[in-house]
Copies of this chain bind each other. A is one copy, B any other.
Amino acid sequence: MQLTYDEDQIAFRDEVRAFMADKAQLALGEDARHGMHLTKDEVIAWHKALAERGWIAPKWPVEHGGAGWDPIQVHIFDEEAFAAGMPRLPNFGLNYVGPVVIHFGDDWQKERFLGPILSGDEFWCQGFSEPGAGSDLAAVGTRAQRDGDNYIVSGQKTWTTQAHWADWMFTLVRTDREVKKQEGISFLLIDMKSPGITVRPIMTLDGEHQVNEVFIDDVVVPAKNLVGEENKGWDYAKFLLSNERTGIAGVGQSKSEFARLKMIAKTEKRRGKPLSEDPLFQAKMAELELELKALEITNLRMLIEEKDKGAPGPISSILKIKGSEIQQTLATLTMEAAGTYAAPFIPDALDASWNGEPAGPAFAAAATPYYFYRRKASIYGGSNEIQRNIIAKQLLGL
């Protein structure tokens, strides 16, 4: 029973911390912490810095340009990056499709796709969800018909995050309709510049454009863009989703947000006293801090298990649930801390370039939009209801 990092881990943490200090000018400090939106240039600058250091792909094998870290190292890196206020990078290329190509792609695919992911020259989006399917990911209706050296693809994807930025989309497509729904699915990479691709923005209640509908209308996709075998796409998707679980708890980010909330509570007043002296608000803060502590230690327990056994397993569902609840409570308390100034809703104010007049304290502008944004945390990646189903079936045998 040893709850602290060992010497090697501490050395690693110090190395990461020094790097973060060195790159401090890239972090957007207060702005990023206050929920302001980053420009693509800002994100790319951080991407390049990590790529240069060889840290852009923490979990990829070293021979493919990855850092080859174990789960604990990945966790330490995340904590330090968030603590230093570094931005979260789009991870559809790095964490999602990259490992799939490494494990199941052919040489041409590795050669073609991995480099631009590492360099940040190509952005990816995930074409899994379809209208009407919700959490039932295997209900794929988008069809791909083989035609010589190509597939002709038609259908529709939805909730496609950053499709409007992306150069490529990895998709699940149906290549066989005669078999069980999981067995007729293939994993296909589609160039977003292909004729027949239309991206329609979906505005969300936080006033943002992050997700999209993607219409795929007789799009010609070279057959060499098929990953692995035809009709085995569901296996690759499951592999991809299991990778998604690591880091799902969001401990690093939540710790950083909690630290920020603590600062806010010292300045915002209720009835003449700072919230840090208000018994009701403080009780909520304390409960949240303890939830976060329970999540952090449990996450470490799972990471060690993952390190020892290779995979996080279904127990990670409990991390997803509490992790998302904590993210939501953090956003809720931040909104509450803003008091009256949680009421104004000025999405433009979140652009660093906005030069209008702010209402209330700096953190307040993003507080309520962020509360709305965080509603998604318990919906995407398999809703918390689905996670409980998984726990009941896979862990409890019910």
- A280–B283 Cα distance when bound, in Å, is 8
Q: Does A397 contact B (CB under 8 A)?
A: no
- How many A residues are at the interface, by size bracket? under 10
Copies of this chain: 2
Chain B residues within an 8 Å CB radius of A279: 279-280
**Given the complex, which residues of B lie within 8 Å of A283, measured CB to CB?**
280, 283
Distance of A283 Cα from B280 Cα, bound (Å) = 8
Distance between A229 CB and nearest chain B CB, rounded to angstroms? 42
Chain A binding surface SS class? helix
Question: What does the 1/0 interface line of A277-296 toward B look like (CB < 8 Å)?
Answer: 00110010000000000000
Distance from A77 Cβ to chain B, minimum over Cβ atoms (Å): 39
Report how far A127 CA is from B245 CA in the complex, Å. Answer: 52
Collect the chain B residues with CB atoms within 8 Å of residue A280's CB: 279, 283
**Closest beta carbon of chain B to A184's beta carbon, Å:** 32
- Give the residues from 257 to 284 in chain A that come closer than 8 angstroms, CB to CB, to chain B: 279-280, 283
| A 278-325 contacts with B by CB, 8 A | 279-280, 283
Chain B residue at minimal CB-CB distance from A279: B279
Q: Which residue on chain B has the smallest CB distance to residue A278?
A: B279
Distance, CA A280 to CA B279, complexed state (A): 7
The docked-state distance in angstroms from the alpha carbon of A283 to that of B279 is 10
**Can you name 4 A-B pairs with beta carbons within 8 Å?**
A279-B279, A279-B280, A280-B283, A283-B283
